Chains A and B, each alone.
Chain A
């Protein structure tokens, strides 16, 4: 038995891989690993850990190099113990918050990479290091929410290309048992080219990678749990507007850093431009408006919330489940990453159903506005599953055919109005006179406001003696989102259609590279919710330039990344330029149609004509580029040679007619051609120049026998062209051609007479 054990150990020892001696491979692997480590460390603030991990990795690689040929059993033992400790630490951190394992996982991977770097004797171990570096880059990518990760990624690609190249070089050297002295210059050139090609291929694959709806696997991420049973009073607390509960009576200054609509009172006379600071980053299965505060009481100058005592709901562990008041048809999963301090409003698409929140208690009012017991600090993460009424227009129209029926106590909230001018009421009736359905009426009002009143942020304050809606509709005739939303809500209420005003944010701009929706202060918005029996509350957006039905109008997103990138670029281009491009394209199509009509080209689609014109333009550009390339030395010569061959093709084809084949070359070369042609033709009449004969000797013998002095003269001209440095010009060439012509005639005659 003991012999068998000894034999087994002996076999294991024999199996030990040979150590890797290549220094460039180790350096490249170290750089790749450091890139992965630094990319991960830069996503969070870990100063102490950063120094330890980076220094430890460098030290580990050095120790591995020094001890690569030794039996390091004691190092392996220590590493195994430390790895067990790291794993236990990971588990304990994970148990503290199972809903966000990314940070504990990052910790664990960093420690594993650092510890593993002390035991890298063979090439296979260095390969494992590369793979863990790659996993670290993936973890860093999942943590990253900005574009700086791209810089790390480029460095990683460069370093890993080096490492993979040297890895392969080392492997083939070991197989062939040779050591190549590869020069740094050639290696660097090859690797840079490879990295560039890799980026191009990777970029093309990325453009066409499919995007499916995700966020299917639950539970969803949420930041560390705060056990706050019973804390908070359910009131809105906005740190940028500290006296928000006194806003009705107390004037306050506009703060460009925060939206004033996220308070308990919305003053329609507040003026100012919000800045473009990012406030929230969101992952979402689809774009959706984020509800913040729901206002249901209008006092003529602003809106306020009537439900001042919201109810609380608690859950021991996430999620907090909320009852859906009305049926929802489309599940939207959203994860929010708070980028700066925000009011204690829980933003979500309407209607929220399940909430993964750091506190186990939240508040909700009659209008399903959600409030957190504590303000949302930077770094807070929460997730929500909502069900939107994402129905097509015709369906809503059909379901909303019935007359609205709301309980009297509820209806009074959403039909409340202060004293309103008759002009306003009359206008509402005028707009909706042709419609009998509440839904169509609401849509008519929405479209009327969108089409008849322009959007303008720079409007002066409304006079205090006039009701806001009347002033907006008949005096000012322009405004921004709150004015439009408030006006629509008032108009609908005058028609007896329940409505309320919502403030919050739009879905922001989707960055396809990071995968986040970036919501800025300037994305703050106001819209209207209207009640229809059988359907529930449907959102309308009467602001010009926005979709009338913000939830129902979500188009089916294209499954390809390239579409998302094009949309992102479109978002980045100023709207003036986009508008100009659009107008220009339409004008171009119109012109082509007119042009086609002039020539009676019937039934041609303007777009086809446009595409043909574009094709022609592209062709012309290609020809022009071709011409430019011809003028460059490198490509021009090759293209010129190709063109020359094409030019000579007809001459070659006419060879069968016995015409002399003369290339476009210098006179000296052409005289040689003529001489060789002469020799070839003389063979056909039995005069073969022997290899040992000089041209003169052959000329003497042939000319003497045939009596043709052309042979003699041509031979002399050949010798001069071939061996002398005399200048050979066109005159001499023409003489040779003349002689050749005469000789050719004589040869033909001789052949005809049968070589007599």
Chain B
């Protein structure tokens, strides 16, 4: 199990929120986002199963990695360059659930793409989330460019970009980490290692146990943490953010996460994962592990648990209703914005 191996790399013992300077309020907000992301994701599947959505690409199991990392950013100022499992990341970065359901249902008012892209391809300039494509790893270079521009313009922005461990086999991974290190760019390369590239296990992807080992070859720190332990992720991300903010350069942050669903709604993982493995993967579910930790630390009581559950339920239901009520896409608009248009709404595009 990838997540178990990760524990050997960085031990979670001796850590308490107090010792690490993390407040209860922050922990509860992170927990809210972990729960919200899970509930949004489950609703995405429900919409697909009911025939309203054609496709789902899921982030279940990745919530701890994404919430812990993006929460460490200045969420108004900094950038997120996501990938297709970034449900939790875009929520923390400011996308309300409705905007996720709008792309899930391919509606005209979907801010990511106006119904042009498959679900999971998030983007929103207002939230400083770059538009996502499907070729994996191309986006790491975009994160470099954003961080380079930030440095040249003196804006103080830094950038988190996300990628799966399978995508680290692509050449763009090498090119992006190398360039970022040469220029000491404020980029956090978040590798969410869920052990599989669709069906290909990590053992067939690379000959090293941890992606983070590669960081040394680029001259940047590499860290591996267990994504079930959200506090660990947050603390590692906080260090990486501080380093980026100081101008000391990028960090390769590998978070080992369980993949709790099939690759997508078009995949049957039973063909390549044993029933036993699928069952045991659930032991690393960040929602349950984080909740248990919060209870043990005395941060989360029953009343708060109920309150958060209710807040999540309302957000997901309201978001779904908004998206369902939104207008369908008019095919007459399909030829627009191939190129710049002078009459485009101000402030969008350039």
Q: Does A associate with B in a complex?
A: no
Give residues in A with beta carbon < 8 Å to B: none
Give residues in B with beta carbon < 8 Å to A: none
